Chains A and B, each alone.
Chain A
């Protein structure tokens, strides 16, 4: 008989079935893992695992399908929202989400991003903004901050020469196709709770078929930022959040 290691102890957390047992490859302290976890918790709590299709990007979360226990497709770099459009258009009764980093969604995939939201595709788009290209080794992202040192901006990002932080979420909130647009984070337990609520709402909104739900998650990249995980929290609060303030940018209208 198996030994009950929990005997006498209170079980306070159980990993959802929607997360696989596979060891995640993310660096210690990285926000990707936290977002994966709450996303999968929501899918389990809503009981929609059998009706959900996810689309992974090219970026650090390219292997999301190894961890998320739902049917998934892995898209070309930048094209996750086009792939998700293809899925949703032929399976309109299913829940569809895409998951992308800032290079994927706001650089190479900007066209697809804007047009997906402009069509009001009835999907959830999750956008991880860590202000850097994690996967390829810490190059400048469209969302990198002015003065931010990256491997391709060794003297700091000079907006006059290579542009300003692209606030794509603000842009998207102006499109009539967007139904719910919000900017959240995962650097504190409270932020994680709020993100979870936003994800849950977004899946429920898919039943209404009113337009695209878009969630930006301001996240960290200890490896790319070359900081300890603890220091990234400080940097995120002091440097990232003033540029990317948290909160709803577009709230659903009841019409």
Chain B
């Protein structure tokens, strides 16, 4: 199979890309707005030779992912906000056990059962650990159907390189919208079963053990030191972001995923209205691109954080800007989508001209 251009829903593009990235096993539980992922895999699995299993809960799915990843397989799960909350214990175990895998969160509005409409309220639980203990997922935030597909490849690569769980944090709108997508050929991501995997103790080696229990605090501390070293390396090497029109920008809109797309419209309106607006879009939400923000704070006068929540990423924007310039916020909550016109009005208010 060669590269191929198709018109697809975000969730389906992500699923198709996963198969092309050499997915070996998927475990998941239905929840709107991401059930298409499981459905797509269920339909394709017998034809394309990978394992798919509908688990009895997200708690079970994430622990099945633990087992399959521990056995060295290229494995993933997907869910939406309430299901991701249920997975947090398992994610902490997976991070502690340093098991590579991919988790997709098609974020919906919350808290509680919430709404099935798109949201970004899971920023905290995705980027700050989420479960117990000191750990991080690598978090990738696509803002188009193309990136939904591309980040699957990126995600597996990073997961296997660092032996760390990777999350694709997207939302219900990106999962459901249809766009043109270019898909890489099947089998283009090489796979080698890791030697630490539990595959049966050969006479030629010691037994392999996957554990997250380090009962002596001295040992547990060493494990933490090793993890933190890994996170430092990730922060040094894997930061990804996009900037648009920031060179001369007096105001920089900070947004990820769907909010970044909406912010682009607001930026265009502002430029038409004579305000020099730019966009800063973090692609990795962990590691967060603090440095570029700090640099932008040298030239821009204002930062406007735009999110589909009450303001979560704004804490990281503030850390990046580090008090050099004011950081403002605008957003909608609970599954409501920000209106570019309203963002534009906000820009006008901040910059104070028109």
Question: Contact residues of A with B, CB < 8 Å?
Answer: 49-53, 55, 62-63, 65, 69-76, 79, 82-87, 89-91, 94, 111-112, 115
Please tell me if the beta carbons of B63 and A94 are within 8 angstroms of each other in the complex.
Answer: no
Q: List 9 A-B contacts (CB under 8 A).
A: A49-B200, A70-B200, A71-B207, A73-B198, A76-B63, A79-B60, A94-B200, A111-B59, A115-B56
Please tell me if the beta carbons of B53 and A89 are within 8 angstroms of each other in the complex.
Answer: yes
Please tell me if the beta carbons of B207 and A82 are within 8 angstroms of each other in the complex.
Answer: no
Between B25, B57, B61, B210, the greatest number of chain A beta carbons within 10 A of the residue's beta carbon is seen for: B210
Residues of chain A contacted by B75 (CB below 8 angstroms): 86, 90
Residues of chain B contacted by A83 (CB below 8 angstroms): 63-64, 66-67, 70
B324 in the interface (beta carbon within 8 A): no
Indicate which residue in B51, B61, B67 contacts A84 across the interface (CB closer than 8 Å): B67
Please tell me if the beta carbons of A82 and B203 are within 8 angstroms of each other in the complex.
Answer: no
Not counting A73-B66, A79-B66, A86-B68, a sample of 10 additional A-B residue pairs whose C-beta atoms are within 8 angstroms of each other reads A50-B201, A51-B200, A65-B209, A70-B207, A72-B207, A73-B67, A73-B70, A76-B89, A91-B199, A94-B200
Residues of chain A contacted by B212 (CB below 8 angstroms): 74
Q: How many pairs, one residue from A and one from B, have CB atoms within 8 Å of each other in the complex?
A: 126
Please tell me if the beta carbons of B25 and A112 are within 8 angstroms of each other in the complex.
Answer: no
Residues of chain B contacted by A50 (CB below 8 angstroms): 200-203
Question: In chain B between 111 and 165, which residues have their CB closer than 8 angstroms to a CB of chain A?
Answer: none
Whether A71 contacts B209 in the complex (CB less than 8 A), given A50-B201, A76-B89, A86-B27, comes out as yes
Between A49, A69, A74, A111, the greatest number of chain B beta carbons within 10 A of the residue's beta carbon is seen for: A74
Residues of chain B contacted by A49 (CB below 8 angstroms): 200-201
Please tell me if the beta carbons of B213 and A53 are within 8 angstroms of each other in the complex.
Answer: no
Residues of chain A contacted by B60 (CB below 8 angstroms): 79, 82, 85, 111-112, 115
Residues of chain B contacted by A75 (CB below 8 angstroms): 63, 66-67
Between B61, B75, B213, the greatest number of chain A beta carbons within 10 A of the residue's beta carbon is seen for: B213
B86-127 interface code vs A (CB 8 A; 1 in, 0 out): 000110010000000000000000000000000000000000
Residues of chain B contacted by A111 (CB below 8 angstroms): 56-57, 59-60
Whether A82 contacts B209 in the complex (CB less than 8 A), given A50-B202, A111-B59, comes out as no
Residues of chain A contacted by B59 (CB below 8 angstroms): 79, 82, 111-112
Question: In whole angstroms, what is the CA distance A79 to B207 when docked?
Answer: 22
Question: What total of chain B residues lie within 8 Å of the partner, measured CB to CB?
Answer: 39
Question: In whole angstroms, what is the CA distance A112 to B56 when docked?
Answer: 7
Please tell me if the beta carbons of B207 and A69 are within 8 angstroms of each other in the complex.
Answer: yes
Question: In whole angstroms, what is the CA distance A236 to B90 when docked?
Answer: 36
Please tell me if the beta carbons of A69 and B68 are within 8 angstroms of each other in the complex.
Answer: no
Residues of chain B contacted by A72 (CB below 8 angstroms): 198, 207-211
B55 in the interface (beta carbon within 8 A): yes
B279 in the interface (beta carbon within 8 A): no
Whether A79 contacts B63 in the complex (CB less than 8 A), given A94-B199, A94-B200, comes out as yes
Residues of chain A contacted by B19 (CB below 8 angstroms): none
Residues of chain A contacted by B285 (CB below 8 angstroms): none
Q: How far is the CB of B48 from chain A (nearest CB, A)?
A: 15
Residues of chain B contacted by A89 (CB below 8 angstroms): 25, 51, 53, 64, 68
B327 in the interface (beta carbon within 8 A): no
Question: In whole angstroms, what is the CA distance A55 to B208 when docked?
Answer: 12
Q: How far is the CB of A46 from chain B (nearest CB, A)?
A: 13
Q: How far is the CB of B24 from chain A (nearest CB, A)?
A: 6
Residues of chain A contacted by B300 (CB below 8 angstroms): none
Residues of chain A contacted by B199 (CB below 8 angstroms): 53, 71, 91, 94
Whether A82 contacts B201 in the complex (CB less than 8 A), given A65-B209, A65-B211, A112-B63, comes out as no
Question: In whole angstroms, what is the CA distance A84 to B71 when docked?
Answer: 10
Whether A86 contacts B63 in the complex (CB less than 8 A), given A51-B200, A74-B213, A79-B90, comes out as yes
B73 in the interface (beta carbon within 8 A): yes
Whether A74 contacts B209 in the complex (CB less than 8 A), given A50-B203, A111-B57, comes out as yes
Please tell me if the beta carbons of B210 and A73 are within 8 angstroms of each other in the complex.
Answer: yes
Please tell me if the beta carbons of A53 and B25 are within 8 angstroms of each other in the complex.
Answer: no
Q: How far is the CB of A35 from chain B (nearest CB, A)?
A: 19
Please tell me if the beta carbons of A90 and B90 are within 8 angstroms of each other in the complex.
Answer: no
Please tell me if the beta carbons of A76 and B90 are within 8 angstroms of each other in the complex.
Answer: yes
Question: In whole angstroms, what is the CA distance A241 to B59 when docked?
Answer: 33
Please tell me if the beta carbons of A62 and B67 are within 8 angstroms of each other in the complex.
Answer: no
Please tell me if the beta carbons of B73 and A90 are within 8 angstroms of each other in the complex.
Answer: yes
Indicate which residue in A52, A62, A65, A73 contacts B200 across the interface (CB closer than 8 Å): A52
**Residue of A with least CB distance to B65:** A86
**Residue of A with least CB distance to B93:** A76
Question: In whole angstroms, what is the CA distance A76 to B71 when docked?
Answer: 16
**Residue of A with least CB distance to B89:** A76
Please tell me if the beta carbons of B70 and A86 are within 8 angstroms of each other in the complex.
Answer: yes
Please tell me if the beta carbons of A90 and B51 are within 8 angstroms of each other in the complex.
Answer: yes
**Residue of B with least CB distance to A56:** B211
Between A63, A72, A84, A111, the greatest number of chain B beta carbons within 10 A of the residue's beta carbon is seen for: A72
Question: In whole angstroms, what is the CA distance A74 to B96 when docked?
Answer: 12
Whether A53 contacts B71 in the complex (CB less than 8 A), given A65-B211, A76-B63, comes out as yes
Residues of chain B contacted by A82 (CB below 8 angstroms): 55, 59-61, 63-64, 66-67
List 8 A-B pairs, minimum CB-CB distance, nearest first: A86-B67, A83-B67, A82-B63, A86-B64, A71-B198, A86-B68, A79-B63, A90-B73
